[in-house]
Amino acid sequence: MMKKLIFVLTIISSTAFAGVTSWEDSPNNWENSEHNWDNTSNNWENSPNNWENNPNNWDSDRVIRDNDGNARGYAVPNSNGVINIYDLDGNREGYVR
């Protein structure tokens, strides 16, 4: 009986752990949501008008450039570990954790 209980608890804990990982990456998680203030381009940190996100700022480590040096967008890390990816107009294209 004890071996059976340990096996069942192992399966449940493994499943729960797998769910936590997928929840952290899920767009349904508030930390990843485009409706969260930390992730919207209306927030100054994420705005295309912020000099750190401007393609004319060659010193910015946020601007995403292609192999020819053309700006394609920008990436902004926020306080909860999400890095938001925006196009040059400030439209959120996605995120990474």
- E strand residue ranges, the chain: 63-65, 71-77, 83-86, 92-96
97 — pLDDT class (breaks 50, 70, 90):
confident
CB 76 within 8 A of CB 84: yes
Give the pLDDT confidence score for residue 32 in this predicted structure.
Answer: 93
CB 16 within 8 A of CB 32: no
User: What is the pLDDT averaged over residues 63-88?
Assistant: 96
Tens digit of pLDDT for each residue in 9-62? 344 444 444 545 689 889 999 999 999 999 999 999 999 999 999 999 999 999
Q: Which residues, in sequence order, are bridge partners of residue 74?
A: 63, 86
Amino acid at 78: N
**pTM of the predicted model as reported, rounded to 2 decimal places:** 0.75
